[in-house]
Chains A and B, each alone.
Chain A
Amino acid sequence: MAAEIYLNVAVSGLLTGLVYGLMAVGLSVIFGVVRVVNFAHGEMMTVAMYLAIVLFNSLGLDPLVMAVPLAGVLFVLGYVMQAGLINPFITRPEYSQFMLLIAVAIIVVNVLLIAFGPDARSVQTSYAFDSFLVGPLIIDATKVYAGAATLVITAALFAFFQFAPLGKAIRACADNYTGALIVGLNVKHLYALTFGIGAACVGAAGSMLVLLVDVTPSLGPASTLLAFIIVITGGLGSMAGAVLGGLLIGFTEAMAGLFFTPSAKSMFSFGLLVLVLLFRPQGILGKRVS
């Protein structure tokens, strides 16, 4: 009996972790290419979450299906943000970029607060209480769908960066900024595309996460921190690392919630982060950059 509880919680944590991983992939892609840490990452995700809720409540559109169009909306938002706001800050010091994105984050959080109020919101789908029985395990159907969608999206993104000419061009910018300029790549446009892709990841992740957690405006900053933890644990700039980090954090938090108290669960994530930073600062799958 007891072992089954642990197994159930572990699987549930891992599936939630996958969706966290997709959010973190967005952060990782942006940092890997543009070299800007997106301090408004979680806030962008809450924008997608509220959009998903509005679409569900007013038009009855399923958040799982809406993940794709919402990714598109966030892509445009991300593109505009990079092209309009962040590109001039590329050569400025880190703290300056940080301030810019903090200002964006403050605006987003509070606009959401004005628009939707401080109360927690969620959606109730027809399949919210469905589950699959796999041997002794009872697995939440919603989490399975969301986890599977995450794997598909991440695989597609990986293929894009590996094989598509545009993906290769973006990687070229990441590898060598000056070199990319010399061979005639439009680096600013590619940066904006990259930020758009990163934003699309949180758009899709947010749309699916609506099914798993309640949304409040203050979820934004908390998610930004969560994305940092995941990405650094997995390796900043590595997509596979972000997914792995997501799994690890999802698992850790689920287990900490079970063994200790749910309110203390993030303490273990932060503890894990500190350990990773000290003993493997490049992250589990990251490459060491001097």
Chain B
Amino acid sequence: MTSRLLDGISHRGVALLAVLLAVLLAAPWIANDYLLTVLIIVLYSAYTGQAWNVMMGFAGQLSLGHAIYVGLGAYAAAALYVHFGIAPWLGLAAAIAVAVACGAIIGFLAFRFGVGGVYFAILTIAFAEFARIGFDHFQWVGASSGFFLPVANYTRNDLWNLRGDPTMFYYVMLALTVAAFALCHVLLKSRIGYYWQAIREDEVAARSLGIDTFRYKMYAAVLSAGMTAVAGVFFAFYYNNLFPEQVFHISRSIELILGPIIGGIGTLFGPLIGAFLLTGLSEAMQELLSALGFDAPGAKQVFYGLCLLVVVMALPGGVWPWLAGKLRVTRRDP
């Protein structure tokens, strides 16, 4: 297993990876509360980015509505917890099941009816918006006035009920991110990963080689949906409040995919690098603007947009392929 996990990574890469992991593991002892909160956001974006990357980066299916899986996962686990007192780790199963079912429906409809490219992207937006407005009118989970999880001061960390301080959430998110990373690495080096990449590069050619493209695209859609739902459960229990306008909004879907695209689409490190860059950039912008005493709402987003523009124009393949070349860590392609 270990050998398979490290397959294709150079010794230099393994060393850098170990250093990175050690720093992340030690972070709660070094970082203050603010930095820890930022790191949680970074890991959250890295994880969701990785989940989206499975569908788009590996299998080439552009989903612009991934917020739907975050939202369904979040609402499923939160509703079970609030209404029936079911612990999130059990709710997780329901969350994954709901998201997987939704991913399977979208995937089935799109792939069976030959909806591809731009049309597929807009279909995913349509489903997410449909869910947003639907949840806005869904009284059982608070409709548009929001759904809240009980918050109290916890004397100790209750990992089973996911109630506790940021450090606990940090380690949960770190574990999820590492697991997603390892899973994607193994998948990419396995038969299914190669099938996905073949479909991504040329679907007709892949089918003519005997790959059941419908089935493998479905696997990608379902896996990506399930992974994203896990992040949704985390989201619900970390923030303790859910508003359809926020959770399902298209801007959430876009934020989710910015990281992997900036970092390097279809690469393993892309989502992680992208999450670090974008969250870092966003926080730095905030600090800079408040230091300058310039607090117009929207100023931060303008700079954010400009930076995005520059990266998209200057590094079309994303930051990671360029950075990997500089660090000399890739033996074969990423």
Interface residues of A (CB under 8 A from B): 37, 85, 88, 92, 94-96, 98-100, 102-107, 109-111, 113-114, 118, 217, 221, 225, 228-229, 232, 236, 261, 263-264, 266-267, 270-271, 273-274, 277-279, 281
Contacts and interface: CB of A to CB of B under 8 A. Distances in A.
A106 B258 CA distance: 12
Given A102-B308, A104-B305, A229-B126, 8 more contacts: A88-B313, A98-B62, A99-B258, A103-B306, A111-B302, A263-B133, A264-B136, A274-B130
Interface residues of B, number: 44
A94 B62 contact: yes
B126 A274 contact: yes
Contacts of B115: 277-278, 281
A94 B133 contact: no
Contact of B119 (A107, A232, A279): A232
Q: Which 3 residue pairs spanning A and B have beta carbons closest together?
A: A113-B298, A110-B298, A106-B305
B254 interface: yes
A114 B299 contact: yes
Contact of B261 (A95, A228, A236, A279): A95
A106 B308 CA distance: 10
Interface of B: 56, 62, 64, 109-110, 113-115, 117-119, 121-123, 125-127, 129-130, 133-134, 136-137, 144, 250-251, 254, 258, 261, 265, 296-299, 301-302, 304-306, 308-309, 312-313, 316
Given A109-B301, A225-B125, A37 B118 contact: yes
A94 B61 CA distance: 11
B316 A273 contact: no
- Chain B residues touching A, majority SS: helix
A277 B312 contact: no
Contacts of A110: 298-299, 301-302, 305
A263 B144 CA distance: 10
Given A110-B302, A277-B119, A99 B261 contact: yes
A264 B114 CA distance: 29
B301 A271 contact: no
B313 A281 contact: no
A267 B258 CA distance: 26
Given A228-B122, A232-B122, A277-B123, A99 B297 contact: no
B137 A273 contact: no
Interface centre among A102, A232, A263 (most CB of B within 10 A): A102
Contacts of A103: 305-306, 308-309, 312
B306 to A, nearest CB: 6
19 contacts: A95-B56, A95-B265, A96-B312, A98-B64, A99-B312, A107-B302, A109-B298, A110-B301, A114-B296, A114-B298, A118-B297, A225-B125, A263-B133, A264-B133, A270-B126, A273-B126, A274-B126, A277-B113, A278-B113
